Amino acid sequence: MSQIRGRFQKQIDKAAEKYTASIHFDWLLYPYDITGSIAHARMLAKHGIISKKEAETIVSGLNSIKEELDQGRFEFKPELEDIHMNIEARLIEKVGEVGGRLHTARSRNDQVALDLRLFTKDAIIRTLSRLRELQQTLVDLAEASKNVIIPGYTHLQRAQPMLLAHHFLAYFEMLQRDAGRFNDCLKRTDVMPLGSGAIAGVAYEIDRDFLARELGFSQISQNSVDAVSDRDFVIEYQAAASLCMMHLSRLAEEIILWSSQEFNFVELDDAYATGSSIMPQKKNPDVAELVRGKTGRVYGKLIAILTTMKALPLSYNRDMQEDKEGFFDTIDTLLSSLEVFAGMLKTLHVKPENTVQAASQSYILATDLADYLVKKGESFRTAHDIIARLVSYAFEKDKSLSDLSLNEYQEFSPLFSKDVHSITVESSIAARNNTGGTSPKQVERALITAKKILRESGDAK
């Protein structure tokens, strides 16, 4: 039976008790609940609200309970609803009625807000570490692929040649934006709500600055109503996680395509692929497919918390109990996806002979031919039309652009001369030498920048 029955004449219905309990998932908050309670006890003693001896007894009891929880010896009681009441009840069992003094000058409302912010701060730090590991893997791949030429695609059609390193570094940039979003989220999570009470603050002379220092917060919440009802930081993490998973999913899709026999650009390591139960020849990119699939799972959790919060009046409502289960799942999904993706990419085998062959085929140098005419004095729009007709002609003759003779070129424009045959995929790539381009010089510059970012983040290898 719940200990918070107070004015009620009946015990709570068993089905309702089970329905309202959150201990089966919010037990994960126990390290943060105990940390917050220890700081709170010390603050109460510092200001004479409880005695120093009482605080020492409470802190000792809490440390003992943490040992039980760490070692898996703690008996959770669903009838006590949540991790906060389970710990408080156990504290009173261990140290007597003095344990009941711990809850002076706080409410479960500011208590859970504190626990969740402490938990989220740690989750963000772990997420940033995994992001940096994956970025390092992408840099290593790019370093190893500086001379590998691939066809770049738009609309999944071969568009222009580029360096594979340039392609991998595009994902480095995406993850860098993700890291920025998580760092921003950390700033807004790093606000200490304890001392807000249930809604209106507390009627005791407390020291919130002391609590913030003890708990490692850089700011203190400025409005008690907002402090207990704010879950923006949870939503913000899940929004950043959704964007990050979208980036992983895009690369996963490319790995899936590139590892197919139709592309044959890469081969996955056996440790990151599976076979078929019926077709012995199959090597399936299941890890990449699951990352792609789990992206929808993370999106769903974001929509769920947004929907939960969208019409809640101030301040705390029990609906907000639904803030944790999906959030915890999002964190687990993102962290595991980042970890497995880094492992998959570290062992990825690139097939440069196939990528350069694909980049040399079709009419991938058509834009370069248009640029050639522009440099000879033609307007780009006219040059575009000339090359479009030239490509159509070559297609009808079943010839590549390199197969066309100078006379054939000159049938479309007298500006063509013998140097037209010097246009190659290598010259095309080298010509893209502006900042952000795919030329070897620009890719080398981008690699230097990426390595500097990782060094300064403190997470580079």
- The residues facing 163 across adjacent strands are 149
Does residue 400 sit in helix, strand or coil?
coil
Answer for the pair 65, 94: CB distance below 8 angstroms, yes or no.
yes
Active-site residue, selected from the candidate residues 51, 276, 405, 427: 276
Catalytic residue status for 196? no
- The residues facing 175 across adjacent strands are none
**In Å, how far from its chain's centre is CA 427?**
37
Strands 191-192, 149-154: pairing is: unpaired
Other beta carbons less than 10 A from residue 27's beta carbon: 16
Does residue 413 sit in helix, strand or coil?
coil
- How many Cα atoms are found within 13 Å in the side-chain-facing hemisphere of 129? 8
Written as six digits, the tokens of 51 are 């005695």
Helix axes 30-46, 83-95, angle to 10 degrees: 60
Catalytic residue status for 155? yes
What are the phi and psi torsion angles at 136 (to 5°)? -60, -40
Question: In whole angstroms, what is the distance from residue 189 CA to residue 57 CA?
Answer: 31
Residue type, 357: Q
Q: What is the DSSP string of 287-317?
A: HHHHHHHHHHHHHHHHHHHHHHHTTPPSS--
Catalytic residue list:
155, 276
